[in-house]
Structures are given as structure tokens and as C-alpha cells.
Chain A
């Protein structure tokens, strides 16, 4: 059996291990791990078994090359400044595996036409265009942004990073597919929505991979206009602006009170002095880190991957599915758990085309 070094690297980075750390765990030298990963020497069955055990992937996972690469350097991360490269790599490797799952299962389902386009306009113009492409009203709240993106043919991945992750989201065009990866975790629902809008902005505006100094600022401007259109904000935020009046808008627009203060200032609805005062009051109330619980915005999760699994004839047999995907049951469950299940969406009236489905063949054979 041939083993692939790139899989060792993928599994190692997903578990946030350095080559040295993995080597110590499996009782090998760091050089042995490095050589195996780079393909200088074919990994031995003994080494792969030890890696599989430590990284919690099945042996079969290491028998094929990954079909896709999410290079950390080209991914556009929305993250706290404390994000480490190791954390970014772990998120990227998860995304590769989830993307691969979708790739392997995609022949068994219909695909949705892509409604997203690329824009050469300003972030604000692009956000207004995006609302049109997504079939949204120009100035009404977006109820389910993630769902809207999925229905527009954008591949939204849920990354099962632990709750303390510094990463909110990242995105890239991969194999001509617009991909947005949202990290699961304790982040507030309103922040997740803003992150989804931010990444959508990157896909629309920053598709050419040219490095820009202000790309995150542009993506924020895009997300602000997408989620809080100027026309609507001028209509709904009126003087005197108080935290109470902004708090009342939070459930309607699905963004944080802080985002509303920022937006009101950005649009000139409030002056610098009031902007500073409102943030001072937010801090005094302890809302900078935690806005009132009664105003929590539900976390939006993607659905597509789990829907695909539900449509498979063996979708409810997790062991079968895991074996087909060369993953462990634990791997598959960990991933599917961060997606919406069928009870978390409203049913559509579409029925399966046919119940006679050809069994999934391994594409690795």
C-alpha cells in the first residue's frame, strides 16, 4: 500500500502539531517526519500507523493525495490579531477535508447555479450589486445570510475549531468555486453574520489574488453596506441616537449594537463626539465584550454538506459514509455536527428525483 506524505502534513497541521511534536509523539525523528511529508522517502506503514493513531485519522486516509490545497498565504482570514499561523493552518486543513467531502459526494446531487459575480466597483457599489444578485431587497434586513449565500451557489463550510478559536472566517476562490469557511465556536451570532458578509466581500472584490493593503477594510465596508444599507440606516436611525434606540434595531438587522454605532458614524448620522460617547457607555455597561443576552442573534450555520449526506442512500449509516470518504466516524461526526440538520430548516417541496441511486464508488480506487 502506498502512503502519501501530503496527507501526513495535512493531518499533522489539522491537529496543530509541529513536525517535532508529532515526531516525539510517534517516537520517530523530526527528520523522518519531514522526509515523509515532502515525499523524499515513501512513508513506512509503521510510521503511518503511528501518525494515524495520533491524529485520529484512519489508515486509508493516507493512501491518496489531497485533491485540493488551501494555501494559508492566499486565504483571507477574518480573525483576532492573536491568531497564530498554526491556528490558521489547522483551519485551512479542515477546510480542505470538508471541501474534499463535498467534492466526493457532489456527483450524487444536483448543483445550484452560481448567482455571485465579481465586481470591479467600490465596496459599497459591490454590496448593492450583491444584494441584487442574491435576490434581496435593496434596503430590508437579511434574515438568513448564510442560507442566502448557500442558495446562491456559494460553498459555505463550517469548520469545527474549538470554542476559543481566534479565527472567525476565511474565504477564497478554489477551483473556480467561491468558498466561505465559517469557524464554529462561541462567537456571537451577530459577529458571525458580519464575518460571513465580510468574506462575501472578499469573494466579490478580491478575486484576483493581488495583495492589497486595505482589503479587510474594503470587506468591512462591503459587509456594512450589505447588512446595513445606507438608505435603510438613514431611515431608521434618527436623532437623538441612544444605546436604547440602537438596541431596538439589533434584532431587526441581526448585527451588534457596536456595528450599528460604527455604521451610524460611518454614514455621518452621528458625529465623532457622540460616537465616542456611545462607545464609552457600551464599555461602562460591559457590552464591549458581551452585549445583553436578550439581544443575542441566533448563530447561522451552513446546511449544504449535511443535506447532501441526508440525500445519500447510506447517509444515515455514518460508518458506511466514513469508510467511503476514508475518514473515521469521529471525523465525520465532528464535521457534520456543526452544520444545520433537517430539523433546523424549513422543508422544501422538492422531492428526490429518484430513489434508485447508484452506490457511491470510491473515487480513490
Chain B
């Protein structure tokens, strides 16, 4: 992938996200469960956008409770999730695979998507884009997929939000290693029998 120098690579993006990424899948897994429980218990008849907003609210609650060092969560009202890691800003939005949600009338979202490129005098090769989106997509079978997206621009006429790249955020369960049986077990402590015993037994 040929990217301009000011665009972080997907791997760099994942690295920037790494303090939070192990918590994202459990956050959304738990959030989906909590939302379903709530909706079913209250017998609510809520539409999908509302349902997904509840999911995000639960995910936010989960993430904030983790008290992750070096991560600052912004205290948005309602369910909005935004956090900062160093200079990078991450927002989590509901969406579909490879489809950034259009910002609607939200000026803030438009600005976030049309992120400012570093100015020429900043282009020393180190200044990079700072805005990222974590998309949570919930498929028809309730499969949750998480994407890290580096937004490029929003075309208001076509109402299409473009991205520099998308990369799936791996389920942290797939990165766990280790085994209880690492190392060989001790040998069974049997020995050759004494010759006299052998005679007696075998005879």
C-alpha cells in the first residue's frame, strides 16, 4: 500500500491503538449481551439504530471502567466514545464492513473525517494524521466485527466518507499464548525389578 508519508500505516495505527485493543472485543461482546438483556427484560421495541446506540453506551461503560493507563476518555454525553492515546484521537462508531457511516448534519463528525493534513513546513516525515475510527459492525447472526479505519475525507455531495485504509482489529483471544502443560511431565517412577523378584513373579 503506497501511502503519503503523513498517513500512518495500518500497522502503525494498530500499534497506536494497542493499549485499548485488547479491551475492545470484550467490551462490545459484553455490550451486546447487556443490551439484549435490557431490551428483552423491558420488552422494548427499539429500532436497530437505537439498539446499536445502547450497545455503544454499554461498551463505553465497560471501557471506562478498565482504567487503562495512558488513555484518556472524553466525557461525551450519551453514548459517544472518544479517547486519546498520546496525540491520536479515536472515536468508535457503528457501521458496516468497509463502509464509514456518513456524518449526517454533524459538523464535528465532518471535521473529524476531513482530517487536517500536516502543513508543508510540518512535513518532516514525522507528522502524521491523528484521527482514527473504530467501527463496530454487528452482522445478522450477531457476529461483532471491529475495524480500525483511518479516515480520508467526506464528500458532502455524494455523502460518501472515504478512508485511507481499513484493518480488522483481531479478537484478543486469538493472540493468547501459553499452556498449562508447557514442559515435559516427570517420568513415571518405575524401575527394573530385582532379579530375585523377577524369578518369583515370572516363575
Contact = CB atoms under 8 A, between A and B. Distances in A.
Given A150-B188, A243-B29, A347-B187, A297 B201 contact: no
B79 interface: no
Given A292-B174, A361-B202, A284 B191 contact: no
A330 interface: no
A143 B198 contact: no
Interface residues of A, number: 67
B190 interface: yes
Interface string B166-203: 00000111111111110111111111111101110110
Contacts of A81: none
B107 interface: no
Interface string A272-283: 011001001100
Closest 5 interchain pairs by CB?
A107-B201, A247-B173, A147-B185, A144-B185, A242-B26
Contacts of A297: 179-181
B199 A358 contact: yes
B195 to A, nearest CB: 5
B18 interface: no
B37 interface: yes
A281 B180 contact: no
Nearest to A298: B181
B177 A354 contact: no
A342 B191 contact: no
Report the contact-size class of chain B (Cβ under 8 Å from the partner): 35 or more
A347 B174 CA distance: 34
A254 B179 CA distance: 7
Contact of B29 (A141, A242, A356): A242
B68 to A, nearest CB: 15
B20 to A, nearest CB: 13
A262 interface: no
Interface in A243-286: 243-245, 247-248, 250-254, 257, 273-274, 277, 280-281, 284-285
A346 interface: yes
Contacts of B195: 354, 356-358
A306 B185 CA distance: 15
Contact of A304 (B32, B142, B190, B201): B190
Contacts of A358: 195, 198-199, 202
Interface in A315-356: 340, 342, 344-348, 350-356
A307 B181 contact: no
Interface string A287-312: 00000101111101001100110010
Given A240-B30, A251-B177, A346 B183 contact: yes
Interface string B47-72: 00000000000000010000000000
B33 interface: yes
Given A248-B176, A251-B177, A277 B188 contact: no
Interface in A105-164: 106-112, 141-144, 146-147, 150-151
A39 B90 CA distance: 81
Interface of B: 22, 25-26, 29-30, 32-34, 36-37, 40, 62, 141-143, 171-181, 183-195, 197-199, 201-202
Interface in A16-65: none
Contacts of B185: 143-144, 146-147, 300, 303, 340, 345-346
A360 interface: yes
A212 interface: no
B194 A304 contact: no
Most A CB within 10 A of own CB, among B33, B36, B197, B199: B33
B141 A144 contact: no
A295 to B, nearest CB: 6
Contacts of B181: 143-144, 189, 254, 297-298, 300
A345 B187 contact: yes
B191 A311 contact: yes
A235 interface: no
A353 B190 contact: no
A142 B185 CA distance: 11
A80 interface: no
B94 to A, nearest CB: 18
Most buried by B among A106, A108, A274, A350: A108
A294 B195 CA distance: 49
A209 interface: no
